[in-house]
């Protein structure tokens, strides 16, 4: 059974209001409740912590307590544990651990960081602050890339293909794609050393390290190096930082205080990294190769217009919607003119 939660609201679904830094990011000062003197059962611990979380205004109090206790009992979800197990008294060590982990959640640390792992599609990935925690909508991005690569563009199953991911974070996208596409290798880059380290660690844990190269590179500053590492790539995938800078102050404390702001802030119009990716794309992709982007719902028409004016050889193919019906994913394809393509072949 996989962990499912809206613990960190997806950005496309967020309500951005004029709350400002002190409105949304301020956290009430809180001290953790004392460890109980008497022994308590797992279910009692869940109920107790749920109450503490509610009292202190911690979001998703129920899920928070449940995921932490399930993790301590060696399971992913509380539903997957037997009733008898939940009715057993916790050992003093487990009780102390529960208090330690729940106290972290009380400080608004996301559950994913508290338990140091989370599920993405069929993978369980290590999580560590401040590396971006993968969101559910990114699973949809992976699904659409897979569908497109497996059937749409007719990528030959027997040929070697490379994909590039810009901004790999924990490695969620690249590792999911590699797991499902055995004929692919991937290059993943990120400006953050924490992200690079975590992607490498997750690749090793999943046995995918031989098909994944990970580099600490900033696409804004290290464009030449990125270009020297990648050409004739079949797909360029990215869930880049795409929040409008002004929206950063409206983020939940879980996000604002614990996740790397460089993973979120896409500049004034949220398009800073996106424009750079699209500028480099024609030199990175093979002819007919595609760019797949996760973006803010306001972005698709802006990206389409910008590419038409600024990037030769890249054609806007379509906008795809997420399961809530919001326009969240852009697909673009490199199309060389017949003349240029012929010159390349000669």
Q: Which residues bind ligand SAM (CB under 6 A)?
A: 132, 134, 138, 166-170, 172-173, 189-192, 195, 218-220, 239-241, 260, 262-263, 273
Nearer to ligand SAM, 65 or 164 (CB): 164
Q: Quote the least distance from Cβ 33 to ligand SAM, whole Å.
A: 33
Nearer to ligand SAM, 202 or 234 (CB): 202
Whether a cis peptide bond, with omega within 30° of 0, leads into 342 is: no
Q: Look-up: residue for tokens 């790999």?
A: 168
What span, in angstroms and rounded, lies between the C-alpha atoms of 177 and 16? Answer: 32
Name every residue whose Cβ is closer than 8 Å to that of residue 280 and which is 6 or more positions away in sequence. 219, 223, 226, 227
Q: 127: which 2 tokens?
A: 């999580």
Q: Quote the least distance from Cβ 172 to ligand SAM, whole Å.
A: 4
Q: Quote the least distance from Cβ 183 to ligand SAM, whole Å.
A: 22
Q: Quote the least distance from Cβ 51 to ligand SAM, whole Å.
A: 32
Nearer to ligand SAM, 49 or 256 (CB): 256
Q: Quote the least distance from Cβ 170 to ligand SAM, whole Å.
A: 6
Assign residue 103 a region (left: φ > 0; alpha: ψ between -120 and 50; beta: otherwise): alpha
Secondary structure class of 277 (helix, strand, coil):
helix
Nearer to ligand SAM, 273 or 284 (CB): 273
Helix (H) or strand (E) holding 345: helix 338-345
Gyration radius (Cα) of the chain, Å: 22
Give the residue at shortest CB distance from ligand SAM.
167
- The candidate with the shortest Cα–Cα distance to 278, out of 317, 324, 334, is 334
Nearer to ligand SAM, 190 or 296 (CB): 190
């Amino acid at each position: 059974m996989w962990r499912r939660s809206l613990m960190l609201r997806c950005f496309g679904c967020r309500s951005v209001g004029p709350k400002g830094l002190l409105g949304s990011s301020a956290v009430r000062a809180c001290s953790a409740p004392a460890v109980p003197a008497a022994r308590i059962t797992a279910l009692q611990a869940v109920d107790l912590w749920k109450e503490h979380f509610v009292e202190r205004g911690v979001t998703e109090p129920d899920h928070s307590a449940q995921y932490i206790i399930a993790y301590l009992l060696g399971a992913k979800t509380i539903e997957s544990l037997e009733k008898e197990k939940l009715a057993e008294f916790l050992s003093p060590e487990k009780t102390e651990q529960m208090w330690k982990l729940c106290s972290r959640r009380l400080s608004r640390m996301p559950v994913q960081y508290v338990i140091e792992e989370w599920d993405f599609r069929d993978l369980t990935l290590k999580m560590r602050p401040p590396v971006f925690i993968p969101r559910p909508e990114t699973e949809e991005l992976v699904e659409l890339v897979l569908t497109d690569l497996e059937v749409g563009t007719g990528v030959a199953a027997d040929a070697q293909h490379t994909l590039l991911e810009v901004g790999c974070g924990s490695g969620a996208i690249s590792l999911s794609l590699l797991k499902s596409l055995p004929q692919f290798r991937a290059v993943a880059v990120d400006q953050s050393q924490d992200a690079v380290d975590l992607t490498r660690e997750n690749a090793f844990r999943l046995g995918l390290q031989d098909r994944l190269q990970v580099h600490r590179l900033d696409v804004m500053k290290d464009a030449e190096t990125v270009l020297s590492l990648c050409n004739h790539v079949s797909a360029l995938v990215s869930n880049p930082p795409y929040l409008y800078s002004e929206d950063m102050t409206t983020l939940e404390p879980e996000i604002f205080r614990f996740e790397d702001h460089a993973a979120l802030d896409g500049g004034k119009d949220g398009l800073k990294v996106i424009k750079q990716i699209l500028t480099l794309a024609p030199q990175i992709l093979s002819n007919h190769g595609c760019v797949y982007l996760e973006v803010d719902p306001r972005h698709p028409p802006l990206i389409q217009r910008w590419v038409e004016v600024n990037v030769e050889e890249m054609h806007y193919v379509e906008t795809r919607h997420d399961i809530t019906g919001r326009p969240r994913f852009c697909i673009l394809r490199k199309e060389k003119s017949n003349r240029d393509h012929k010159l390349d072949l000669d």
